[in-house]
Amino acid sequence: MISRGATKRSQRAATSQDLWRRALKDSFLKLDPRQMWHSPVMFVVEIGFVITALLTISPDMFGGSYPPSQRWYNLVVAIVLLLTNLFATFAEAWAEGRGRAQADSLRKTRTETPARLIDAQGKVLRTVSSTDLKKGDLVRVEAGELIPGDGEIVRGIGSVDESAITGESAPVIREAGGDFSSVVGGTRLLSDWLEVEISVNPGESFLDQMIKLVEGASRQKTPNEMALNVLLAGLTLIFLVVVMTLEPMSAYLKSPADLATLIALLVCLIPTTIGALLSAIGIAGMDRVLRFNIIAKSGKAVEAAGDVNTLLLDKTGTITVGNRMAEKLFAVGGHTAAEVRQAAYRASLADDTPEGKSIVAFAEKDGEPRASGTLLKDAEAVKFSAETRRSGLILASGEEYAKGAVDAISELVRKRGGQIPADLQSVTDEIARAGGTPLAVTHDATILGVVYLKDVVKPGIADRFAALRTMGIRTVMITGDNRLTAATIAKEAGVDDFIAEAKPEDKLIRIRAEQGDGKMVAMTGDGTNDAPALAQADVGLAMQSGTSAAKDAANMVDLDSDPTKLIELVGIGKQLLITRGTITTFSIANDVAKYFAILPAMFVGVVPQLQALNIMHLSTPHSAILSALIFNALIIPLLIPLAMRGAAWRPMSATAALMRNILLYGLGGIIVPFIGIKLIDLVITASGLAHI
Amino acid sequence: MSAAGVLGILIFLAVLFALAMPMGKYIHNVLENRVHWLRPLEDWILAIIGPAAKKEQTWRQYWRSFIVFNLICMLITYAVLRLDTYLPLSQGVGLGLSPQGPHLAFNTAASFTTNTNWQSYSGETLTYLAQLFLMVLQFITPAFGLVIAAVFIRGLVGRRDTLGNFYADLVRSLVYIFLPVASIGAVVLLALGLPDTFAGPAIVHTLQGAVQQIDRGPVAAFETIKQLGTNGGGFFNANAAHPFENPNPVSNMVLILLMSILSTSLVFTFGAYAKNRKQAIVLAGVTAVLYMAGTAVVYWALVNGNPLIHQALGLSPVSYEGLEVRNGLPGTALFVSTTTAYTTGAINAWHDSLPPLAGGIPLLFMMLNTVFGGKGAGLLNILMFALVTVFVAGLMVGRTPEFLGKRIERKEITLATVAMLIHPIIILAPTAFALVHKVGTSSILNPGFHGLSEVIYAFTSGAANNGSAFAGLSTNTPFYNVSIGLVMLVGRYLSMAAMVAMAGSLAAKRIVPASAGTLATDSWSFAWVYLFVTLIVGALTFFPALALGPIAEHLVMMGGAVK
């Protein structure tokens, strides 16, 4: 169960009033031309504002002679242009503010704490501030203290409350060595002590990187965003040429257009809607990722998530519910059920993995007497390892009980000169066919039976994979199980492909193969041996609970440590692109109506027949031009919620998505401004401003 | 508009597509070096070129060969035009022969090397040598366009380091495409009554006893390649309205077919390269919709003519001014739209005399420059707009846009934007200048909206490498010769350079396999988005100019005022 504690806290912390105040202030600060320059479209609008402001002071500044009323018209144009710019800067400031609030709530966890700096022998040198810690520093943390920075445990074991980061209230055990050795700054050590090697320099933590992604000024633009920016700049340049050349043409026809009107036409034609919201869309996209409790190290990674063709998913924890549970015991080779039970029980006593515990619980429930202290005295635990693929217990008497993968145990028994029972294979196959995992149980060189560990596929996972398939994304399940078991679960879960008996390097091999075919691959991982694959994958999502090697290699970290979130991440990536695409289409489609408003208005004096193009029947030329310009400005704040929320998205095929969005934003983009401009014209006319 | 007329146009379209589909496949085979039925000729020419024709070239090397070759062609042409009366074959069709001055020769050389064939002179003033030289250029310049299109397609569809060899591509397309098709066309036109002789003007004694000189020459051969290569420069000043160039309705349809066949086929060549016939059908289909819609507007405008004449004089309003009656209204409408859609520039009617909307369509087609367009250049524009469409539409489906499995990223969009920007800039900027400066306005014969149409038509024709003239504008002035000459050069080479560079970038990319999440570019839904983008970006750019030119003129005419 994941709580979104961090999110809720942030919403309380940054009241919407603060957000508004800061955003309003920032929207004026962002008018600074040096910042505006980064958005060519809005920069043109700003220049237009400066020129019309000058024309308000002196209408004939750039030549021509105008009646006194022209000054008021110029003023109105200037004001609308300023508003257009402010709406754009506000959108960005608002998105930043929300992102910052989100980041701040995470940053709160890293308030300054004293850190006990130690030397390599564990001798305390001095106490420094956590903000001064550098990579490679060693610190000692005692129970009850906050861990001062991200790092790796070098000595000690303890339970850590990570709820500040993950929202998960149950403490987790962290210890030196293995896959649970990394700690995050700002989490609290509840018991014992730890010695931690700090792994990041100040300002370089994942969170610091993420905060940069939601702050407009320092934000790196994503690849698609840069490409779109180029296209928008190109369109702006085209319309600049169109409007600049319109002036001589109208002069030739002896109907010189006034500068304010030309600027109004230009601003209406260039894609201001998307130009104004582009930056906000990018920031809001990063913010959505952060709200989802995922830290992305770059915007590029989020975009890549939308492009993914193949998902590599670990079976356990992603496709199946948590851990396998002992379901049944099978005796083989003529041994009795009680013998098997005892051997399985003893082989699992020292095994504190969930599977091991489930075998112990199953055996006790089945009537196995609790093991006495004398039995366990001086017994030696055999830990599971990837090489031996078995675990067990060696009693003081030298008797060994072991359990493990059937082939591994068979090999062990053969090596020790034992016999492989004839019915082992059939029992193993039966379990595998049922989708279970068979674990052979042995007592010294005798195989007694098989434990049936049952995998439970997460409810609803098949539907989610089907949804991914409609988007053209293939899912590949990775599991250490044998082929039969893997095939059964793969079928039940509805994955497209699976890799059985996978070794850690298989992930990397598969990723390289898929990428060789031009595909983009996403995967999750938490162990150190996942690190190369996480680095190779286009989207590597590391679990917060994983090792720092994994987190360093990945380009995203999931604070909730929930690998299924990879599926939603694809949606967030797609939504980011879709939002940009739809608002771009809407923005360009708007031009049709604006032409029909402005062109007749400009030239109706010299060609009265052009009135035929005034299909909206706008009341006066000035009202027509101002209506188009005001519509152009107002559409920006009206679309801010869309930019923040992202365009509505659900899994569907590309063709379906295209048709839906082209009707909604393309056709809608043509129709809406006709209505909007007409309405604004009615208001202007009613208020008597039509004749300024 | 008569049912027979409409039916005739539709039958023509069906014939065009029926011929273009196999032709497109054939061109693909030629370009991929799989056609060798004229091996001796091919080998002989390739042997003359030597080892340069054997090495596969990168996009940079290909472009260098291409541009140097073009430059040489232009320089030689310039020299011939300046000196033609001092060189062999110095007699001509007409009697008023004189070498061209520097700015006119620059304009003519630029015009014929860029496959524009804009003529600021009348054809009768050239010697046979100059005419023959221009004919050679008309033969090879469309092949230039074709090979550049081939380079782009190769970059788009495959992953490779080199993109072919310019010389080999050029030779093969000349030997196996232009030569055979032109030969067939010339024979057909000869059979239809076009003259073909080096005998000089015929001197005839009329029944009244007067002596008349009738200019003639190798017309059938010239005419075929003029149309086939979308060149359009006439043997005679009256171009295809002249009875020796286009004697009857059948020859009229043959000329239209010759103009349209290769550019239409190239879309199917692209389909063959992409191994996706439907992709070609979708792009050709949506382009044909534009083509036919424009033809219908021209036809409608001709039939409805000028209502003022009907009101004032009670005569049929049908507009026959400037038309050759023998071509008929549908034959004229189809010729008018085809010559501008395919940027040929030949004319069988005086575009200046067409009703405003009928004159507006040629203008619009050249502004769009994507209605099949010139050899290769048209396909490049179609694919350039397809790329921009893929980008916008691709974002809307939530993936980094891909076209035929190639990811469209910043570099491609930058180059496509450059290619897209050039066209409107080189039309609108010089037009604006010409309209306010004396050097421009002094050439305008008709004031008002029509004068504006004339000037913008001239620069649009140059930019689109079309070459048709609206007339009514005296363009043989230093200003127009130099400015239109530059517009032709920039319009052709700069956009081609951007597209070839893009081909280089695309060729290096991995092909992303298609899936349900990939935008299907070979679907009709994509076709409509493509049409939407082309019209919004391509046509809206020119909407103010069109509104002040043909549209204003049309509205004024319909409104019943004579200005």
Specify the DSSP element, H or E, that contains A248. Answer: helix A223-252
Q: How high is the pLDDT of residue B527?
A: 93
Q: Do B418 and A591 touch (CB under 8 A)?
A: no
Tell me how close the Cα of A65 comes to any Cα of chain B, in angstroms: 19
Mean pLDDT of A665-677: 95
Chain segment B388-410, per-residue pLDDT in tens: 999 999 899 988 899 999 999 99
Specify the DSSP element, H or E, that contains B459. Answer: helix B448-463
Q: Determine the residue among B389, B399, B423, B553 to mutate to test chain A binding: the one whose Cβ has the most chain A Cβ atoms within 10 Å.
A: B399
For the beta carbon of residue B432, count every other beta carbon within 10 angstroms: 24
pLDDT of B115 higher than 80: yes
Angstrom distance (rounded) from CA B279 to CA B287: 12
Tell me how close the Cα of B468 comes to any Cα of chain A, in angstroms: 22
The tokens describing B544, both together, are 């103010």
pTM over the 0.80 mark: yes
pLDDT of B292 higher than 90: yes
Residue in this structure with the two tokens 């004449």, named with its chain if needed: B309
Of A244, A577, A589, the CB nearest to B398: A577
Specify whether the CB–CB gap between B163 and B503 falls below 8 A. yes
pLDDT of B166 higher than 70: yes
Angstrom distance (rounded) from CA A600 to CA A624: 9
Give whole-number Cα distances, A227 to A224, A239, A272, in Å.
5, 19, 17
Using an 8 Å CB-CB cutoff, list chain B residues near A519: 512-513
Angstrom distance (rounded) from CA B481 to CA B101: 11
Q: How high is the pLDDT of residue A266?
A: 95
* For chain B, domain boundaries: 3-558
Confidence category of residue A3, pLDDT binned at 50, 70, 90: very low
Nearest to A567 by CA among A498, A475, A431: A475
Q: Do A227 and B410 touch (CB under 8 A)?
A: yes
Angstrom distance (rounded) from CA A322 to CA A528: 20
Max mean pLDDT among A357-366, A415-424, A426-435, B270-279 falls in B270-279
SS3 A619: coil
Q: How high is the pLDDT of residue A167?
A: 60
Chain B residues 407-426 with CB within 8 Å of chain A? 408-410, 412-414, 417-418, 420-421, 424-425
Confidence category of residue A129, pLDDT binned at 50, 70, 90: confident
Adjacent-strand bridge partners of B232: none
pLDDT of B1 higher than 80: no
* Alpha-helical regions (H) of A479-563: 483-493, 504-516, 531-536, 548-553
List CB contacts of A378: < 8 A, sequence separation 6 or more: A396
Q: How high is the pLDDT of residue A15?
A: 66
> Dihedrals φ, ψ of A657, to 5°?
-65, -40
The tokens describing B542, both together, are 């020119």
Q: Do B429 and A306 touch (CB under 8 A)?
A: no
Look at B466 and A202; give whichever has higher pLDDT.
B466
Q: How high is the pLDDT of residue A18?
A: 83
pLDDT of B424 higher than 90: yes
Angstrom distance (rounded) from CA A565 to CA B426: 52
Lowest mean per-residue pLDDT among A563-567, B91-95, B538-542: B91-95
Q: Do B525 and A658 touch (CB under 8 A)?
A: yes
Specify the DSSP element, H or E, that contains A275. Answer: helix A272-291
Angstrom distance (rounded) from CA B315 to CA B312: 8
Q: How high is the pLDDT of residue A186?
A: 77
Of B395, B409, B449, the CB nearest to A581: B395
Of A234, A249, A665, the CB nearest to B435: A249
Angstrom distance (rounded) from CA A362 to CA A365: 5
Using an 8 Å CB-CB cutoff, list chain A residues near B391: 227-228, 231
Look at B480 and B311; give whichever has higher pLDDT.
B480
Nearest to A146 by CA among A130, A124, A166, A128: A130
pLDDT of A10 higher than 50: no
Q: Do A253 and B540 touch (CB under 8 A)?
A: no
Mean pLDDT of A212-234: 82
Q: How high is the pLDDT of residue A217?
A: 57
For residue A90, give the amino acid letter: F
List CB contacts of A144: < 8 A, sequence separation 6 or more: A188, A189, A190
Angstrom distance (rounded) from CA A53 to CA A33: 16
Of B391, B399, B405, the CB nearest to A518: B405
Angstrom distance (rounded) from CA A11 to CA A98: 9
CA torsion B141-B142-B147-B150 (nearest 10°) is 160
Q: Do A248 and B511 touch (CB under 8 A)?
A: no
Q: Do B436 and A251 touch (CB under 8 A)?
A: yes
Nearest to A400 by CA among A334, A341, A343: A343
Using an 8 Å CB-CB cutoff, list chain B residues near A603: 547-548, 552
Confidence category of residue A9, pLDDT binned at 50, 70, 90: very low
Q: What is the DSSP string of B6-72?
A: HHHHHHHHHHHHHHHHHHHHHHHHHHTT---TTHHHHHHHHHHHGGGGTS---HHHHHHHHHHHHHH
pLDDT of A168 higher than 70: no
Chain B residues 309-338 with CB within 8 Å of chain A? none
- Return the beta strands (E) in A72-221 as ranges: 114-118, 124-129, 138-142, 151-161, 172-175, 182-183, 188-189, 193-198
Mean pLDDT of B152-166: 93
Residue in chain B nearest A248 by alpha carbon: B432
Q: How high is the pLDDT of residue A107?
A: 67
Tell me how close the Cα of B515 comes to any Cα of chain A, in angstroms: 5
Confidence category of residue A229, pLDDT binned at 50, 70, 90: very high
Using an 8 Å CB-CB cutoff, list chain B residues near A230: 410, 413-414, 417
Of A234, A591, A662, the CB nearest to B421: A234
Q: Do B399 and A654 touch (CB under 8 A)?
A: yes
Check CB contact of B442 with chain A, cutoff 8 Å. no
Using an 8 Å CB-CB cutoff, list chain B residues near A474: 515
Using an 8 Å CB-CB cutoff, list chain B residues near A598: none
Angstrom distance (rounded) from CA A292 to CA A99: 12
Q: Do B543 and A599 touch (CB under 8 A)?
A: yes
List CB contacts of B111: < 8 A, sequence separation 6 or more: B117, B118, B119, B120, B233, B462, B467, B484, B485, B488
Question: Annotated catalytic sites of A, by residue?
Answer: 314
Query: Which domains does chain A show, CATH number per domain?
Result: 5-103+212-291+572-691 (no CATH), 114-147+150-199 (2.70.150.10), 308-320+457-559 (3.40.50.1000), 325-454 (3.40.1110.10)
The number of C-beta contacts closer than 8 angstroms across A and B is 214
Residue in chain B nearest A225 by alpha carbon: B410
Of A224, A238, A584, the CB nearest to B424: A238
Check CB contact of B446 with chain A, cutoff 8 Å. no
Of A473, A584, A658, the CB nearest to B519: A658
Q: Do A577 and B399 touch (CB under 8 A)?
A: yes
Using an 8 Å CB-CB cutoff, list chain A residues near B357: none
Q: Are strands A310-314 and A521-525 parallel, antiparallel or unpaired?
A: parallel
Chain segment A453-462, per-residue pLDDT in tens: 887 788 888 8
Mean pLDDT of A524-537: 86
Q: Determine the residue among B308, B397, B534 to mutate to test chain A binding: the one whose Cβ has the most chain A Cβ atoms within 10 Å.
A: B397
Using an 8 Å CB-CB cutoff, list chain A residues near B428: 241-242, 245
pLDDT of B265 higher than 80: yes
Nearest to A44 by CA among A205, A373, A264: A264
| Burial status of residue A249 (CB atoms within 10 A of its CB: 0-12, 13-18, 19 or more) | buried
Give whole-number Cα distances, A456 to A329, A467, A487, A498, B433, in Å.
18, 21, 14, 17, 76
Q: How high is the pLDDT of residue A4?
A: 41
Of B408, B414, B559, the CB nearest to A609: B559
Q: How high is the pLDDT of residue A564?
A: 83
Tell me how close the Cα of A568 comes to any Cα of chain B, in angstroms: 14
Specify the DSSP element, H or E, that contains A396. Answer: none
Mean pLDDT of B337-365: 88
Mean pLDDT of B45-57: 92
Mean pLDDT of A354-364: 86
- Return the beta strands (E) in B87-139 as ranges: none
Using an 8 Å CB-CB cutoff, list chain B residues near A658: 393, 396-397, 519, 525-526, 529
Chain segment A169-212, per-residue pLDDT in tens: 667 788 887 777 888 877 888 888 889 988 888 777 766 776 77
Chain segment A605-649, per-residue pLDDT in tens: 778 888 888 999 999 999 999 999 999 999 999 999 999 999 888
Mean pLDDT of B525-548: 87
Chain segment A496-528, per-residue pLDDT in tens: 999 998 887 888 999 999 998 889 999 988 877
Q: Do B418 and A592 touch (CB under 8 A)?
A: no
Chain segment A599-610, per-residue pLDDT in tens: 888 888 778 888
Tell me how close the Cα of B460 comes to any Cα of chain A, in angstroms: 14
Using an 8 Å CB-CB cutoff, list chain B residues near A591: 536, 540
List CB contacts of A655: < 8 A, sequence separation 6 or more: B519, B520, B523, B525
